[in-house]
Structure 1
Amino acid sequence: GENTIISRAGGAPTLAVGMAHILSNVVGGPAMMAFWYHFAILFEALFILTAVDAGTRAGRFMLQDLLGSFAPSLKRTESLPANLLATGLCVAAWGYFLYQGVVDPLGGINTLWPLFGIANQMLAGIALMLGTCVLYKMKRAQYAWITVVPTLWLLACTLTAGWQKIFDANPKVGFLAHADKFQAAHDAGTVLAPAKTIEQMERIIFNDYVNATLAGFFMFVVLAVLVYGVRTVLAARSSNGPTAKETPYVAMPTPQVQ
């Protein structure tokens, strides 16, 4: 374990210290603070690993389904080359942002955290929209308010935040405004802190444009799902009976044992 928590900067130790302080006040007192600190660190590590693992697996399936629209052989999940290609692309995608966070002069947490917060809650909004569609297709519209109310709140918050992160004129808020500020300084030959070189200035500008593009893409996906969801709900309401159904069962092929 760790011998001291002095001068350990970063989100993980900060959260672990906070959890240790709260939990030790509930169970064990100061004598248990070291135990709760290491418990929190382990919890964070396992959460990150399992989230990355689950996200990579889900991303691989979705990517294979998408690529299969252009190359049907890539949709075959029993194909090892197709699996390796899709998995490699997913790992390369999150690996790039991991690398970006390490080399970013602003610090990875300052660059990626706004996107993570927006994307996380947008994903929750998408899940609630799909749940709303299922309720209407099952003719359980009387319960739809349970998903509709939080959906409206999440969409209002996340879409507003996404718009502000892209187009807000304040460089401390908007990605594009921040990029314009550093671009103007770059053109004038001035290095703005925390960058120390022109190369770091260029990296900050590039990262701002990447983040703005991603935020716009996230908003587009949410709005596309919203349009699809509204159309699905209207179609379900016009039907006299339930329209929810499951796809037929498809057995997995039995592997040939040599």
Structure 2
Amino acid sequence: FVGYGAMLMEGFVGIMALIAACVLVPADYFAINAAPKAFEALGMVPVNLPELASQVGENIQGRPGGAVSLAVGMAFIFSSVPFLEGMMAYWYHFAIMFEAVFILTAVDAGTRAGRYLLQEMLGKVYKPFSDNSWVPGIVVTSALFTSAWGYLVYTGDIATIWPLFGMSNQLLATCALIVGTSMLIRLGKVKYAWVTAAPGLFMMPIVMWAGYLNITANFMPKGLYLLATMSVVLMVLMTIVFVEAFRRWYTLLHVEHTLRDSYGDEVLALAED
């Protein structure tokens, strides 16, 4: 329930981002999200941009990435609420802080998961590393990952991995839905399986197509061959997971007799250790 609720809340944030973008005049939106030279090539003229910049107290032109346009859009919406008309600067900076905290949770989860994986790999070489409570191992692996993040921030190269992060994040969400569907079918609750199967099957081709476009239109033209390779590896691994899941669905849906697992539940197949 916590995981599914978190996905719903993240989806709500995504919808809010779309709404925040829609309330802006198209010329103002592109003026914020495009580099100055790229915006000039569009031949568009900003409409409310100077007024918006004055109200939020920041230079918002030529600030690509989506964070600034989201903050401006949210601030514009909140400032339209009665008795909040003069607080646009406050809402703008509040939205920026909200986005920073939201991103921080992803970085925190990625660092923690990466530390566990690194400790597991190093544990094959030096046994104490495999113990997640071993303090020297925690310090070493945490220092390595935080230093890697710091290097990306210092060099400014962190922006290059965000497209890969977005694709891998959505692939992971799709994988969670497909695996959840497998569990529902295994538990004999086929009538509920559509709840996770429908969004999972909807996301699968879209994310795969987005990954393909990311490789061919973004990474390869820019010479980012490492990121392109990592994208291909992720897509291949997830394809294997999806194919195996579909094969498992087919097998489980043709099971006629139920079994009782160690928890006392009636299932179509026992989970393997």
Quick one: distance in 1 between partners of 2:112 and 2:198?
31
Kept after mapping to 1: 8 A contact 2:57/2:89: no
Q: Note the C-alpha offset of 1:156.
A: 0.1
1:31 Cα offset (Å): 1.0
Query: What are the ranges of 5 or more consecutive residues in structure 2 without an aligned counterpart?
Result: 1-54, 260-266
Quote the offset at 1:50 in angstroms. 2.3
Alignment of 1:160 onto 2:209: yes
Cα deviation, residue 86, structure 1: 3.2
Gaps of 5+ in 1: 180-204, 248-258
Q: Is it true that 1:43 corresponds to 2:98 in the alignment? A: yes
CA distance in 1: counterparts of 2:100 and 2:58, whole angstroms: 17
Per the TM alignment, residue 22 of structure 1 is displaced from its structure 2 partner at its CA by 1.3
Structure 1 residue 52 displacement after superposition = 1.4
Aligned to 1:146: 195
Deviation for aligned residue 1:72: 4.6
**Residue 240 of structure 1: aligned partner:** 258
Identity across the alignment (%) = 39
Q: State whether residues 121 and 158 of structure 1, in contact with CA within 8 Å, keep that contact through their aligned partners in structure 2.
A: yes
Change (3 A) 1:114 1:3: closer
Is residue 2:59 matched to residue 1:6? yes
What is residue 173 of structure 2 aligned with on the other side? 124
Q: Is the Cα–Cα contact under 8 Å of residues 64 and 75 in structure 1 kept in the other structure?
A: yes
Residue by residue, what CA displacement relative to the aligned partner does 1:133-184 show, whole Å, maximum 9, x if unpaired? Answer: 2112211122111111211121101112222332x3xxxx1532x14xxxxx
Conserved in 2, the CA contact under 8 Å of 1:134 and 1:244? no
Q: Does the 8 A contact of 1:138 with 1:244 survive in 2?
A: no
- Change in Cα spacing, 1:225 to 1:66, as seen in structure 2 (3 Å) is farther
Q: In the alignment, what sits opposite 2:182? A: 133
Per the TM alignment, residue 212 of structure 1 is displaced from its structure 2 partner at its CA by 0.6
TM-score, L = length of structure 2: 0.64
Q: Can you list the C-alpha shifts for 1:17-38, whole angstroms capped at 9, x where unaligned?
A: 1110012223534212122112
Distance 2:108 2:249 in 1: 33
Give the aligned residue type for 1:212: A
Report the CA distance between 1:125 and its aligned residue: 0.4
* Structure 2 letter corresponding to 1:175: F
Change in 2 beyond 3 A, CA 1:20/1:174: closer
2:184 maps to a residue whose letter is L
Match of 1:223 in 2: 239
**Larger RCO: Structure 1 or Structure 2 (Cα < 8 Å, ≥ 6 residues apart)?**
1
Tell me the amino acid that sits aligned with residue 154 of structure 1.
M
1:18 aligns with 2:18: no
CA distance in 2 between partners of 1:67 and 1:236 (Å): 38
C-alpha RMSD over aligned residues: 3.1
